[in-house]
Structure 1
Amino acid sequence: MDELDSALLAHLQRDARQTNRQLAAAVGIAPSTCLERVRALRAAGVLTGFHAGVDLPALNRHVQALIAVQVRPLNREVIEGFKGYAAALPEVLSVYVVAGRDDFLIHVAVPDIDALHNFLMDRLSGRREVIGFNSSVIYQHTRNPVITPLP
């Protein structure tokens, strides 16, 4: 990664729909050089894909929450099984396996508080391996739109 790669990544993260010609002009290089650099970033696994941003309320997902979950027994089979189960639920946006008091953080987006309560009661409390959970409603979320390399 050099400064040119970092600049290309920053511009692509802001707008992945721009043409190669537009991207090249934005960073001040020839389109052929730009194309070669972007292909190299994909081949190296730095660029993993191009994604569409989605407005959650437009999809009737007005309430978001982070749910901390503890499972037992702590073994690979239980962790992998629960991770797969949670990731397949339609309300779930992300599943994180974490260290510390909790074993998972699950990011959900649902229509309303009643739907969040139903999710907790119907999807989590009945699972044998779940020994506890705690939910935190998200009031606001700010995401850094550009991720830069660290030294």
Structure 2
Amino acid sequence: MDRKDHQIIRALMADGRLSNQDLAAAVNLSPSPCLRRVRLLEAKGVITGYAALVDQRAMGYPITVFVGIKLSKHDQATVGAFEAAIATIDDILDCFLMTGEIDYLLRVVAADLDGYEHFVRQRLHAIEGIASIDTSLAYGVVKQSRILPLPI
């Protein structure tokens, strides 16, 4: 990847709805070479998709919860079953494999505290192999970004 590819990626991270014409102008290329570069970045898996950023509060999910999970065992069966189960739960937006005291950190959204309680009791408790669940409620957002720090 060269500087021009970084410019294209930066522009698309800022506005994924840019037309090829506008993108080409923003990165100082003609439309044909710009489109070729975008298609190549997609084919290489650098650009993995395009999505709308949606305000979770506006969609009825004002609560963000960070959930630390510790597994009772770390064998292949327990880890595989846990990760497969987590992948099917829409309330979980992110699941990170961690080092340290917890095994996984989940970012979960909920409509309210009753909704979060239901999520824990009905969804998390149903997953075998969880030794402990540690919950931290976020009461504000200082910074949230999906834009990677690319070299200029």
Q: Same fold (TM over 0.5)?
A: yes
What is the alpha-carbon distance in structure 1 between the residues aligned to residue 128 and residue 12 of structure 2? Answer: 44
Q: What secondary structure does 2:25 align onto?
A: helix
Map of 1:148 onto structure 2: 149
RMSD over equivalenced CA pairs, Å: 1.6
Q: What secondary structure does 1:45 align onto?
A: coil
Deviates more, 1:119-128 or 1:108-117: 119-128
Count of equivalent residues:
150
Q: CA deviation at 1:87?
A: 2.3
Q: What secondary structure does 1:59 align onto?
A: coil
Map of 1:42 onto structure 2: 42
- Contact 1:87/1:94 (CA < 8 Å) preserved in 2? no
Map of 2:98 onto structure 1: 98
Map of 1:15 onto structure 2: 15
Map of 2:3 onto structure 1: 3
Map of 1:68 onto structure 2: 68
- Contact 1:6/1:148 (CA < 8 Å) preserved in 2? no
Give percent identity, aligned residues only. 29
What is the alpha-carbon distance in structure 2 between the residues aligned to residue 51 and residue 43 of structure 1? Answer: 17
Moved over 4 A (4+): none
Deviations along 1:42-97, one digit per CA (max 9) or x if unpaired, are: 12211111111111112211101110001121112211211121221232112222
TM-score (norm 1): 0.90
Q: Which runs of 5+ in 1 are unaligned?
A: none
Q: What secondary structure does 1:17 align onto?
A: coil
Q: Which runs of 5+ in 2 are unaligned?
A: none
